[in-house]
Amino acid sequence: MFRLSMTWKLTCALAVVGLFGCASKPSSLPPSRPAAGTASDTTSPSDSGSSQKPASDANARKPGSGSDLPGDPAEIASKYLRDAFFEFDRFDLRERDRNDLAANAEFLQKHLSITISIEGHCDERGTREYNLSLGEKRAHAVRDYLESLGVAPSRISVISYGKERPFATGRDEQSWAKNRRAHFVVTAK
Question: Which superfamily is assigned to 70-189 in CATH?
Answer: OmpA-like domain (3.30.1330.60)
Neighbours of 111 (CB within 10 A): 21
CA distances from 108 to 44, 79, 178 (A): 22, 13, 24
pLDDT at 67: 58
Q: Where are the domains positioned within the chain?
A: 70-189
Order of strands across the sheet that contains 115-121: 84-85, 181-188, 115-121, 156-162
Angle between helices 128-148 and 95-110 (to 10 degrees): 60
Closest CA to 139 of 101, 96, 95: 101
Q: What is the pLDDT of residues 42-57, one digit of tens each?
A: 333 333 333 333 333 4
Q: What is the pLDDT of residues 55-108, one digit of tens each?
A: 334 333 344 445 578 889 999 999 999 999 999 999 999 999 999 999 999 999
pLDDT at 70: 81
- Euclidean distance between CA atoms 112 and 163, whole angstroms: 32
Q: What is the pLDDT of residues 139-173, one digit of tens each?
A: 999 999 999 999 999 999 999 999 999 999 999 99
